[in-house]
């Protein structure tokens, strides 16, 4: 594959700007203010839930700090983006097979290369993304906590951004800080909240209402509520066994919550 120097943000044409009416995947990025709030588990299981509903889903693991979707699945990447940059493989060779037809691009493997040559690596990722977005209905991207130079292009060009928080005050404060940054950087952002590790539905709803009030008051904007995920010790067991909760315990309370979020997203997109 040739890496053209001009590959840049412009190549990130959104569906609406696609003149040839070619169908491109919807891009959804998942981020948080604070780390460790459950992003990777959420995105992996959300991808499975959408795949179960017949969607072609690609999950890009672009968390540069601690990439771990492959660990959650117990699969090990054979190739990295570095191999792609060196023209040794095709972009499809990078993809890992997840459950129910879900595909995973372990974009952050080979961290050393990222640190030493991050611009080149970022271009390779964008090129891979441009090749792959014609082949999927949805691309979900785990950007890690906060916005890095590496993931900002994806977040800013997403059709939808999902911010995860837990009920902890520190996580909520950091989620608000992230919302503020997103409204500052994106002109028409579709920002959605998911509250993870709640004890009751009501707890999640209350936290969302509080955050949304603050957003309305200080930023004069609104965020959407996509739902909550129940605290579930089965999910913690699933992590230890390296099997996604939706596969290991499809009827557990956290699995049910994640299915609900998937349905909310698909229902919303059907209306468009």
Ligand X SMILES: Nc1ncnc2c1ncn2[C@@H]1O[C@H](COP(=O)(O)OP(=O)(O)OP(=O)(O)O)[C@@H](O)[C@H]1O
The structure tokens 């090749």 sit at 131
Which of ligand X, Mg ion, none lies near 9, with the C-beta cut-off 5 to 8 A by kind? none
Of ligand X, Mg ion, none, which one sits near residue 127, judging by CB under 5 to 8 A according to partner kind? none
Count Cβ atoms below 10 Å from residue 258 Cβ, excluding itself.
30
The least CB distance from residue 112 to ligand X, in Å, is 19
Which residue stretch of 6-14, 30-38, 116-124, 147-155 sits at the interface with ligand X (rule: CB under 6 A)?
A: 30-38
Q: Are residues 27 and 59 in contact, defined by beta-carbon separation less than 8 angstroms?
A: no
Rg value, the chain, Cα: 18
The entry of ligand X, Mg ion, none near residue 197 (CB within 5 to 8 angstroms by kind) is ligand X
Q: Give yes or no for residue 252 binding ligand X (CB under 6 A).
A: no
* Minimum distance from residue 257 beta carbon to ligand X (Å): 8
CA atoms within 13 A on the CB side of 109: 21
Q: Does residue 41 touch ligand X according to CB under 6 A?
A: yes
Stretch that binds ligand X, among 19-27, 50-58, 205-213, 235-243 (CB under 6 A): 235-243
Q: What is the crossing angle of helices 253-271 and 39-52, to 10°?
A: 60
Selected binder of ligand X within 7, 25, 27, 37 (CB under 6 A): 37
Q: CA–CA separation, 53 vs 267, rounded Å? A: 11
Shortest reach from residue 39's CB to Mg ion, in Å: 5
Residues sharing a CB contact under 8 Å with residue 4, sequence separation 6 or more, in sequence order: 127
> Which residues from 176-205 bind ligand X, rule CB under 6 A?
196-197
User: How far apart, in whole angstroms, are the C-alpha atoms of residue 264 and residue 251?
Assistant: 18
Does residue 175 contact residue 206 with C-beta atoms inside 8 Å?
A: no
63 lies in the binding site for ligand X (CB under 6 A): yes
Nearest approach, Cβ of residue 19 and Mg ion (Å):
36
Q: Which is nearer to Mg ion, 35 or 101 (CB)?
A: 35
Q: Are 171 and 37 in contact (CB under 8 A)?
A: yes
Q: Which residues bind ligand X (CB under 6 A)?
A: 32, 35-41, 63, 66, 144-145, 196-197, 229, 231-232, 235-236, 239, 254
């Amino acid at each position: 594959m040739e890496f053209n120097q001009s590959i840049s943000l412009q190549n990130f044409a959104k569906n609406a700007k696609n003149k040839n009416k070619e169908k491109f995947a919807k891009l959804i990025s998942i981020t948080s203010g604070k780390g460790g709030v459950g992003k990777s588990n959420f995105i992996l299981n959300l991808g499975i839930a959408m795949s179960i509903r017949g969607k072609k889903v690609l999950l890009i693991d672009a968390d540069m700090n601690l990439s771990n979707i492959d660990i959650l699945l117990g699969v090990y990447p054979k190739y990295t983006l570095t191999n792609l940059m060196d023209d040794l493989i095709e972009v499809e060779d990078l993809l890992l097979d997840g459950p129910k037809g879900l595909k995973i691009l372990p974009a952050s493997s080979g961290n050393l290369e990222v640190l030493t040559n991050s611009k080149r690596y970022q271009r390779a990722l964008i090129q891979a993304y441009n090749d792959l977005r014609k082949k999927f209905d949805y691309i979900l991207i785990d950007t890690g906590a906060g916005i890095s130079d590496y993931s900002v292009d994806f977040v800013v060009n997403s059709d939808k951004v999902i911010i995860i928080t837990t009920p902890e005050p520190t996580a909520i404060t950091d989620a608000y800080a992230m919302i503020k940054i997103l409204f500052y950087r994106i002109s028409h952002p579709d920002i959605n909240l998911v509250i993870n590790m709640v004890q009751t539905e009501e707890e999640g709803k209350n936290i969302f209402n509080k955050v949304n009030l603050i957003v309305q008051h200080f930023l004069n904007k609104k965020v959407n509520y996509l739902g909550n995920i129940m605290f579930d010790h089965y999910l913690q067991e699933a992590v230890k066994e390296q099997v996604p909760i939706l596969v290991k315990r499809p009827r557990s309370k956290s699995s049910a919550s994640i299915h609900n979020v998937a349905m909310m997203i698909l229902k919303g997109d059907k209306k468009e």
